[in-house]
Chains A and B, each alone.
Chain A
Amino acid sequence: MHELSMAQSIMNAVIETSEKNHANKVIEVIIEIGKMTMLNSEQVIFMLEILSEEEENRLTHGANFTVEEIPVEIECLECGFDGKLENADLDPYTPISRCPKCGNFKVNVKNGKDIIVKNIVIDK
């Protein structure tokens, strides 16, 4: 639901970095999205594609956007399991941080909640 505001924040970071690096054009943007965020990657890309074609975003016209999903990593406070949750443990629409070993919900989520503009490829 907040994909547009996230896309706008991503665009701001992309444009700021591009200008700082004297880019002539942005070719590619790689974004990491944690699986425990309430974001739909396809919608984020859709929004980025729309924003990138706006008149004032001349640098990003035609840029390619790629999302890499970050798996959820947890630490179980009951049985001590420490590791990634495999896809089978995650409902893609409502991810739950639950220990895959003992089924407990008392877990510390170590990774999978972040949204990161990882890198950009530019033409200088």
Chain B
Amino acid sequence: MFKKLGGDFIHKIANIDVQHNITKANKKIANRITKKLNDSNILGVDFVGAIGSGKTSLIEELIENMEGSIGVIVGDVISKFDAGRIEKFNIPVVGLNTGKECHLDAHLVEHAVEELPLDKIDYLLIENVGNLICPVDFDLGSHIRVVIISVSEGDDTAEKHPLIFQSADLVIINKIDIADAVGADAEKMVKDVKTLNPNVEVIKTSLKKGIGLDKIINVINQFKKDRNLKSTK
């Protein structure tokens, strides 16, 4: 606003071209994370799934059964509960409290990565907040995204959340041992995922009964080999 001689005000209206891409701002940080992981020969894997689908249980099983050193980032609205479950394995773990937020973003993950001893780990496992919707919009810089759902969420879960399955590199359908009890058709879930993402690997598991875990480990190891990331630690 400018003051004119005589006391009146004149307004100057300006149209400013901003072109600030918020998605790309996240992607830029994600790319930095990927580079950091590549430089340290670490495979980054992020786990997305509904609340109670088995994300933390799967990470616990992987820590116990995979060869190589693992570091974990646990994201949750209040992360101390899940982070506490991982801490008992005595491996590097960073809890990320998202507070009111429904997802992790690259900015949060980048800070967590800074706290991890990258020279001592081969795999970085990132557990996202229990949610099949919001994480779609946020690349975390990991190499692969694993989506885990369970039969108890209903066998129409994939149909109802198509985008997250289209962005997945590996899909796990958990708790197949209770499919009959909850009236869910696990084969239909596999078919729905394959329709949405024809090339994705789908593994049926019962983590409580140890079914399918070996297949998951093989697929993750294959991803590491494909990216030429050598386990040296």
Interface residues of A (CB under 8 A from B): 1-2, 4-6, 9-10, 13-14, 17-18, 21, 23-24, 27, 34, 36-39, 94-97, 105-106, 113-124
Contact = CB atoms under 8 A, between A and B. Distances in A.
B199 interface: yes
A36 to B, nearest CB: 7
Given A94-B160, A96-B162, A123-B1, A13 B20 contact: yes
A2 B103 contact: yes
Nearest to B131: A1
Nearest to B2: A124
B137 A119 contact: no
B18 interface: yes
The majority secondary structure among interface residues of chain B is mixed
Contact of A21 (B16, B136, B163): B16
Interface string B192-203: 000111110000
Given A1-B133, A94-B161, A119 B14 contact: no
B14 to A, nearest CB: 5
B19 interface: yes
Contacts of B103: 1-2
Given A1-B134, A2-B137, A21 B14 contact: yes
Contacts of A5: 101, 105
Contacts of B163: 36, 38, 94-96
Contacts of A120: 15-16, 18
A34 to B, nearest CB: 8
B214 to A, nearest CB: 29
Interface in B99-121: 100-103, 105
Interface of B: 1, 11-25, 100-103, 105, 131, 133-134, 136-137, 160-163, 166, 195-199
A17 B101 contact: no
A120 B170 CA distance: 42
A6 B22 CA distance: 8
Given A6-B22, A23-B14, A115-B137, 15 more contacts: A1-B102, A2-B101, A5-B101, A14-B18, A17-B18, A36-B163, A38-B134, A94-B162, A96-B162, A96-B166, A114-B21, A116-B20, A117-B20, A117-B22, A123-B14
A39 B105 CA distance: 15
A105 B195 contact: yes
B23 A113 contact: yes
A115 B22 contact: yes
A106 B16 contact: no
Contact of A105 (B101, B160, B197): B197
B11 A123 contact: yes
A113 B160 CA distance: 19
Contacts of A114: 21-24
A37 B135 CA distance: 10
Nearest to B162: A96
A112 to B, nearest CB: 11
10 contacts: A1-B133, A1-B134, A95-B162, A97-B166, A114-B23, A115-B23, A121-B14, A122-B13, A124-B11, A124-B13
Given A95-B163, A105-B198, A119 B17 contact: yes
